[in-house]
Structure 1
Amino acid sequence: MPNQNVRFVDWLKALLIALIIVALVRQYLFANYIVNGESMMPTIEEGNRLIVNKIEVEIRSPERFDLIVFHANSEEDYIKRVIGLPGDTIKYENDQLYVNGKAVDEPYLDDFKTDLIDGQLTENFTLLDKTGRSTVPKDYYFVLGDNRRHSYDSRHIGFISKEEIVGIVNLRYWPIDRLQMNFY
């Protein structure tokens, strides 16, 4: 009987250690998110489940076109695509993105633009029009949802500070038939 008690205590210790490791990973390394809303359609849709890498933003700054999750307010996190990096000028004209005066392709929007039956996906604007600044400030980002007509993003809420960023989206794991790691 004492041998059985020792085994039980060993299993209990192993389970406790595993739970602590899972809690630490979730708190500091990765997070699971369920998408709520249509602002990133067709790339990410309502109900999709994502893994967000929290540590990656501590190691490197987000890059153009990364999908990030950030604290939009005290109750909500948003997922959006990084369009403008610190120091960039941004302009949209005739559904074409211009960064620092040069046309930049957005291949993740091609199918969406093809399916449009009326007008442009992204309205014409400059960074100055939307934010009152001509360039993205240091340690800030300009983000947009892929569903440009129905996205509450930097055009409305302004720049996103690096401190507000929770992490970079690494994986969509649900629905399983849309498993994806690269979003552009």
Structure 2
Amino acid sequence: MPDQNQNPNGSVPLRQPPLTPQDISAPRTNVPQPEPQVIQPEFIPVVPKIPKEPNRGLRDFGSFVGILATAGILAFLLISFVFRSYEVDGISMQTTLMNQDKLLIWKMPRTIARITGNPYLPARGDVVIFDQIDLTACGQGEARQLIKRVIALPGEKVSIVDGHYMVYNASYPQGFDPDKTLGYDQDGHIPTTTVTGETSDFTVGKNQVFVSGDNRPFSCDSRAFGPINENQLIGKLIIRLLPANKIKLF
């Protein structure tokens, strides 16, 4: 009687030994392992925030105010420290300057002198603007800004006879006539000097100048209120702007 485990063809099948607990727990090296998956973080696009455009009307108004403020500050600085326009009021400087002439005054030398702590002293012959507080000697009570010509400088002596000046200093101990030596007016005008009976002498102190109008019979100047201090000076005349047909550099 044939064996029950025997195949009909007479071969005997191989029997696999039973699995032990070690076989069950041992890793199976011949079984393919799944590839590890890399989990990518979810990409969330960032949309930039677009700032709101301010009200155009307010922005334009702010720009306009800024321009006005800048222009105002610039104008203030120029007028205070660089130059300023003036209008002649009166006849004391005729015929060099006529009533209502429009002038431009240069203030920069005085500004530099203030910054450096030095006195501002113009040159002889310069036409200057200055503050004169006391005008009682001229029959006027209120302070005014006057325009006159520099005749004498610190340390000099001025002698006046009938409106004619003689200036004495170390270089000219015998004196000189500034009306003849300076050539005040390039147009050929000569200061009106005749003041009959006027005789006086002045000594110009430190940091002072003696000033006079070119139309001396009708000028209130240092002959009346004495030499002026340098801190009264505002600036010097550099150009006559109007009338247009009389524009002139000084």
Identity %: 28
Taking the TM superposition and a 5 Å limit, the aligned residue runs for 1:88-103 are 88-92=156-160, 97-100=165-168, 101-103=175-177
Aligned to 1:61: 121
Report the Cα offset of residue 8 of structure 1.
Answer: 3.5
Change (3 A) 1:62 1:124: farther
User: What corresponds to 1:121 in structure 2?
Assistant: 194
C-alpha offsets along residues 154-176 of structure 1, whole Å, 9 cap, x if unaligned? Answer: 11111110011111112211111
Q: Which residue of 1 aligns with 2:131?
A: 71
Q: Give the Cα–Cα distance (whole angstroms) in 2 for the partners of residues 48 and 57 of structure 1.
A: 23
Alignment of structure 1 residues 107-146 onto 2, 5 Å: 107-108=183-184, 110-112=188-190, 121=194, 129-131=200-202, 135-146=203-214
CA offset digits 1:110-129 (Å, max 9, x no partner)? 5346xx8xxx5366867xx2
Unaligned runs of 5+ in 1: none
Do the aligned residues in 2 keep the contact of 1:130 with 1:156 (CA within 8 Å)?
no
Check 1:8–1:70 CA distance in 2 against 1; reply closer, same or farther (3 A cut): same
Query: Which range is displaced more, 37-46 or 3-12?
Result: 3-12
Equivalent residues of 1:91, 1:125 under 8 A apart: no
Task: Please point out which of 42, 54, 70 is paired with 1:17.
Answer: 70
RMSD, aligned CA: 2.6
1:36 aligned to 2:89?
A: yes
SS in 2 for 1:40: coil
Letter in 1 for 2:176: K
Matched residue type, 1:31 = R
> What SS class does the counterpart of residue 248 from structure 2 fall into?
coil
1:108 partner amino acid: Y
Moved more, 100-109 or 139-148: 100-109
- Quote how far apart the aligned CAs of 1:106 are: 4.0
Could you say what secondary structure the match of 2:78 adopts?
Answer: helix
Q: Which letter maps to 1:154?
A: S
Separation of aligned partners in 1, 2:176 and 2:190: 22
Q: CA deviation at 1:130?
A: 4.0
Which of 239, 244, 248 is the aligned partner of 1:171? 239
Determine if the alignment matches structure 1 residue 86 to structure 2 residue 150: no
Runs of 4+ in 1 over 4 A off after TM superposition: 92-97, 122-126
How far does the alpha carbon of each residue in 1:70-96 deviate from its partner, in whole angstroms, 9 at most, with x for none? 112263111000000001122356876
Pair 1:111–1:167, CA change in 2 (3 A): closer
Higher relative contact order (CA closer than 8 Å, sequence separation 6+): 1
Deviation at 1:32, TM superposition (A): 1.8
Decide whether the 8 Å contact of 2:240 with 2:248 is kept in 1: yes
Q: Distance in 2 between matches of 1:172 and 1:10?
A: 36
Q: Partner of 2:151: helix, strand, or coil?
A: strand
Query: Does structure 2 conserve the Cα–Cα contact (< 8 Å) formed by 1:121 and 1:148?
Result: yes
Distance 1:67 1:16 in 2: 34
Please identify the structure whose Cα radius of gyration is greater. Answer: 2
Q: Can you give the 5+ residue segments of structure 2 that lack an aligned partner in the other structure?
A: 1-53, 113-119, 134-141, 169-174
Q: Alignment partner of 1:155: what SS? A: helix
